[in-house]
Amino acid sequence: MKTVIQERSKRKKLLEVEWNIKGQPIGSNASRFNSHIGVITRRDASINIADWRHESNAQVKLEIWEDVHAIWNVDETDKHYVLGKAGIALNKFRYRLTKRVRNGCVNHPPKLYADLIDQEEWDEFVARVTTTLFLEISAANRERALQADCPSRISRKGYAKLEKEILLETKSEEVSLPRHTLYRKARLDKTGNTNNEKAREKISQIDDLEQSGQIIDNKSSDDLLSKALNKPDHPGWLIGVGFGISKKDYFRPKKTQKVFVEVSEYKKVMDSLQALMSRVAYLEKQNHDKRPDEVEKELDLPSPNSIKDSCPDGNLPKGISPCLLLVVDHESPVAKGHMYNIEGETLHNRALPLDHMKVLISIPLDENAPLPVEDEVGNMFTRLEMQ
């Protein structure tokens, strides 16, 4: 991934990665981001780590996170995904090495990875993967994989990018799709058909439930897909959602609210900050010869407490954009969400007040933070920070 490092150095700023509402990377840089996590993991982590989740791996996880953070624009809320993806990457790397051992590469590490694996580490790895117990477990896992009766067809695309693809194709204003929709789409070819009999049966069951008129809560663990498949979900791996989202994450009660953001508050804060910076710079230059109020009068600076009637449309992107939500008395963001800067946007079938925008809170960062929101239409004194 030399190109990633070179681009980071050339642009002199962190590389951007787009995230969906569930906290999964999507967009043009998603594949590069995931691949780079794998490169860093192969370099930093030993192939002889027995259990990636064990606390003894805290230091190597910290190193991986810091290396990723040095290149990509990620924050602490993305750390769980990055380290989880690193664990998957390590397992895939060891699987490829195990195949090399079965094919006779025993005495020395593969030349391709000679700069990553020393002889002592390789000898320990070979000794472990050639034991009777390991071979029995490996054979059982291969047999279980062959018994998958309804595999998806999306390969490396993943459910997250599949979801974005569907939303773009249908020009939907939604930011997320129910998992039965993704499950069905992932098992159909480009013509909308499948040759897998089991897949055809499951898709037919999904279609029947959709057309039955039943009231099904797709936000509960007993959603439409669970009814169609007629089997419980694994607690750590959720069908039709993709990597990074567990059953607990997907179905946990979220304090999701559609709220108003008073954009003038954002502009007021930025105007006040710029005024303060200008004031300090001027006073330093003048060696504090004049009082701050005299400086403010000369520069015609806006008062920090003034409220502008204008809306900073030029500073906010059009359409749906990811954002962080900040509230009074909280120094850090309290939620992640999406801002709807769309002309004619409504809420509860009513037009938005002047200088307001709708925000959908998707990921609460501080679930105890109060949001001063009225039931239907009212003012919300918050600031909006663009990601």
Burial 346-357 (b: 16+ CB within 10 A, else e): ebeeeebeebbb
- Residue 179's Cβ-count burial label (10 Å; 0-12, 13-18, 19+) is buried
Residue with tokens 């709220």, as numbered in its chain: 259
**185: phi > 0 → left, psi -120 to 50 → alpha, else beta; which?**
alpha
What are the tokens at 209? Answer: 């439930």
Torsion of CA 51, 52, 58, 61, to 10 degrees: 160
Contact 240, 159 (CB under 8 A): yes
Per-residue pLDDT of the chain (387 residues; tens, 9 = 90+): 666 666 666 667 889 999 988 889 998 899 999 999 999 999 999 999 989 999 999 999 999 999 999 999 999 989 999 999 999 999 999 999 999 999 998 899 999 999 999 999 999 999 999 999 999 999 999 888 888 778 888 888 889 999 999 999 998 888 889 999 999 999 999 898 998 899 999 999 999 999 988 888 888 888 999 999 988 887 777 889 988 888 888 886 544 444 444 455 556 677 777 778 777 776 667 655 555 556 556 555 555 444 344 344 456 777 777 777 777 666 677 777 778 777 766 665 566 666 677 777 777 777 677 665 444 433 433 444 444
Q: Phi first, then psi: give them for residue 245, nearest 5 degrees.
A: -125, 115
